[in-house]
Structure 1
Amino acid sequence: MMRPRITIHKGIRMLVAVDIGNTNIVLGFLDGDDIIGTYRITTKSNHTSDEYGLMITQFLALSGLRPSDIDDVIIASVVPKVMHSFRASIIKFLNINPMVVGPGIKTGINIRIDDPKSLGSDCLADCVGAYYTYGGPVLVADFGTATTFNYVNDEGVITCGLITTGIRTAAAALWGETAQLPEVEITKPKSILATGTKTAMQAGLYYNFLGGIERTIRQFRMELDEPFTVVATGGLGRVFKDDTELIDVYDPELIFKGMALIHSRNSHR
């Protein structure tokens, strides 16, 4: 069932949405409903506010924007150690006190799991974006440093979820804990019939992870016993999106859509 689309608040024209993840900080520049640019920074807790500010202003310039063009900023973070310096950079360089996805923020969906506060703000934004863009029920799969699955029912309620390792995290453990296995690119192999160490690792990682994705989705379908849409996101989702029929939609900009929708509900501030 499709939900009514929520548009960005008319008083806000240019919004910066920031996803602070364990591996990368991803910035999205939104002009109304349009995402006009996305940029990535490696997440490092020792960056100063000036370093972040310099990178932000450079990214703005690459998109043909000036700091004065930005109306507001919203942040979803799962890395508390980075928040102080990053938030300070927004205040110093953009003269904006950013909105932060967290307790007290209106989202348009409810969370009914054992500990609602334990749900990451990135997962919450993903679920908002998926529910209001594609409708419910929807299973939202985010392939990042960790892999998460969260289920939003037809009434816009997050009822359950699953967390496991991301494929890059698993790969890093493989070559980090073995003396003779090299670091390899995470990519779909040409064949599972590998004849070398690197291709054997790529094939093993890829097909083991793909099989886990499909088994997980099938188990959700078995236990929920109702039709739902599967929406995937996250940087590593692109590796698998064309190799399984169980993923209905791959949307790499899902979190920005969710944050824009959340912002629109709270932009009276």
Structure 2
Amino acid sequence: MMLLAIEQGNTNTLFAVHDGQTWIAQWRAATDSTRTADEYAVWLSQLLHMAGLQFGVLDACIISSVVPQSIFNLRNLARRYLHVEPLVIGENAELGIAVRIDKPSEAGADRLVNAIGAHIMYEGPLIVIDSGTATTFDVIGADGGFEGGVIAPGINLSMEALHAAAAKLPRVAIQKPQRVIGKDTVGAMQSGVFWGYIALIEGLIGRIKSEWPQPLTVIATGGVASLFHGASLAIDHFDPDLTIRGLLEIHRRNSGGA
């Protein structure tokens, strides 16, 4: 089995290849909802070639996307160039978990995939923090069920909003300041965004834990999660592979464990 897993967020799209034993290649592209199946194919074929692969060896595909208008083109990529019918989270993929929110159809594909990726790796119950365009805090029950959570603006959105709304504030890189009290404008902005997000994370973790009857293990993942590594004792584990592990597990559940 050679699986192409596609995980599309609002900012970036990950393409990863699994050979049945391990992930052998991963590539990222900027998410563009107008990109056609043929455009994806031209880009992906070059990267496959550089890795010593080609479309012909890929015989399965799974897609998770939070950009509904892109799913049509990603599905056509699988049909036209891999000659397979892809599993699509939220459409034809059985997840095998309970979704315990008022409107289960509103649960984002990425959040459900993360729930599965976390549950098979860590003993629950869990809090999964995914730092991307938005920062999500999701509670996963001991049985792997999705219990709900919190959605907050992502750290990059906050920095961009600060620059866009205040004429005299520059666009600055996000990094961990050595001190909280900034000595210039850039330092003050970096401190406010970075340590402000640490306070957001720690505050929400504390409030979630106060509402949950059992101890919760906290897992962080996502594109900017590494920024917070070592900055907070509230996070128990950093796991960059949470989402693709979840996609692989969903594929296994839908293909008889193959």
Q: Give the TM-score taking structure 1 as reference length.
A: 0.90
Q: 2:201 is matched with which residue?
A: 213
**Rounded Cα–Cα distance in structure 1 between residues aligned with 2:78 and 2:184:** 48
Q: Cα distance, 1:52 vs. partner?
A: 0.9
| Structure 1 residue 45 corresponds to structure 2 residue 45 | no
Q: Give the TM-score taking structure 2 as reference length.
A: 0.94
One-letter code aligned to 1:239: L
Q: Structure 2: give runs of 5+ residues left out of the alignment.
A: none
| Structure 1 residue 108 corresponds to structure 2 residue 96 | yes
Q: 1:66 is matched with which residue?
A: 54
**Rounded Cα–Cα distance in structure 2 between residues aligned with 1:104 and 1:28:** 20
1:217-236 correspondence runs (5 A): 217-236=205-224
Q: 2:14 is matched with which residue?
A: 26
Q: Cα distance, 1:108 vs. partner?
A: 2.6
**Rounded Cα–Cα distance in structure 2 between residues aligned with 1:203 and 1:61:** 43
1:8-157 correspondence runs (5 A): 13-157=1-145
1:111 is paired with a residue of what secondary structure?
coil
**Rounded Cα–Cα distance in structure 2 between residues aligned with 1:157 and 1:48:** 35
Partners of 1:142 and 1:232 within 8 A in 2: yes
User: Which stretch shows the higher mean deviation, 20-29 or 83-92?
Assistant: 83-92
* Aligned pair partner of 2:182 in 194, 204, 222: 194
Q: 1:171 is matched with which residue?
A: 159
**Rounded Cα–Cα distance in structure 2 between residues aligned with 1:62 and 1:252:** 24
Q: Cα distance, 1:104 vs. partner?
A: 5.0
* Aligned pair partner of 1:258 in 233, 238, 246: 246
Partners of 1:67 and 1:94 within 8 A in 2: yes
Partners of 1:53 and 1:90 within 8 A in 2: no
**Rounded Cα–Cα distance in structure 2 between residues aligned with 1:69 and 1:88:** 17
Q: Cα distance, 1:58 vs. partner?
A: 2.1
**Rounded Cα–Cα distance in structure 2 between residues aligned with 1:97 and 1:53:** 16
User: Which stretch shows the higher mean deviation, 32-41 or 144-153?
Assistant: 32-41
**Structure 1 pair 189/37, CA: closer, same or farther in 2 (3 Å)?**
farther
User: Which stretch shows the higher mean deviation, 119-128 or 29-38?
Assistant: 29-38
Count of aligned positions? 257
Q: 1:5 is matched with which residue?
A: none
Deviations 1:176-222 (Å, cap 9, x if unpaired)? 11212111112212322322222221111000011100111111111
| Structure 1 residue 237 corresponds to structure 2 residue 225 | yes
Q: Structure 1: give runs of 5+ residues left out of the alignment.
A: 1-12
CA RMSD of aligned residues (A): 1.6
Q: 1:162 is matched with which residue?
A: 150
Q: 1:182 is matched with which residue?
A: 170
One-letter code aligned to 2:18: L
Q: Cα distance, 1:224 vs. partner?
A: 0.8
**Rounded Cα–Cα distance in structure 1 between residues aligned with 2:191 and 2:12:** 25
